[in-house]
Amino acid sequence: MPLPDAKALLPAAQEAVDRAVEYVLSHPATGVRDKGVREIVTDTDEAVERIVRDHLLRETPGIGFLGEETGAAGDRDTYWVLDPVDGTTNFCHGLPLSAVSLGLVHGDLPVLGVVALPFLGSRYWAAHGCGAFRDDVRLHVSDTADLSRALVALSDYGGGPDAPVRDLLSAALDRELSHRTQGLRRLGATAVDLVFVAEGALDASITLGNRAWDTAAGAVIAREAGALVVDSDGSPHTTRSRCAVAVTPGLRDAVLSLLDITRQTPYRPARD
């Protein structure tokens, strides 16, 4: 299908997220079980995904859907992508840094994002070319240009077949960032990292790996707030990227130089 009018689809996305937030706030984590190394899923994740999927397939029937828990349905070129509870471990422990993250992807490019932080009462949203907002406040990234003054988020240690490589890269980046920045944070939810970059609370976030449900919505929001959202080699971020790096423009070169360590690993584009 042709490029959708992302702004016109915001009401449907916002209503879907409204329903998700209502459910998350009224249903504590139950049915907690492992689904991989350092990854868990709950009954709440699955219920929220059903609620959002059914709403969007009803309201926007020509658009496909990709969910973390239930997979893909419908159009594979233009589709909604959902992480029903990004930061499930935080959610299960009562740590309020978790999010409902809903994006819209066309081709390989995220073009709309809504990220709600239910336990903080905040909502972030953006559509391609329309700016980024927290509730009704226009967002803009920080103007930090000195890495030593920067607060940077880094993704958690990994799971899956690439876990040994990811863990080595994470440890190396942990050492460098802890030494060279004002502070390093591991918040445990990629969508939270990205929207915090958008509002200037973080100066950069580095996510090793690029699962669309984790990154699509936050990538749009960060990009529309003025962040450079790129892969580990500095190429523009898409759903095919190996990593998701969001950085205020003044720190681009400093952050990307640290990511030279991803060369010849699965976390670098193959062309490099």
pLDDT tens per residue across all 272 residues of the chain: 677 899 999 999 999 999 999 999 999 888 888 876 678 889 999 999 999 999 999 999 999 999 999 899 889 999 999 999 999 999 999 999 999 999 999 999 999 999 999 999 999 999 999 999 999 999 999 999 999 999 999 999 877 778 889 999 999 999 999 999 999 999 999 999 999 999 999 999 999 999 999 999 999 999 999 999 999 999 999 999 999 999 999 999 999 999 999 999 999 998 64
83 is an annotated ligand-binding site residue = yes
Walk across the sheet containing 137-138 and list its strands. Answer: 71-73, 64-67, 78-86, 99-106, 109-117, 122-127, 132-134, 137-138
Q: pTM, whole model, 2 decimals?
A: 0.96
Residue 143 marked as a ligand binder: no
214 is in an annotated binding site: yes
What domains, with CATH codes, occur in the chain? 6-138 (3.30.540.10), 147-262 (3.40.190.80)
Token output for 171: 């440890």
Strand, coil or helix: what is 230?
strand
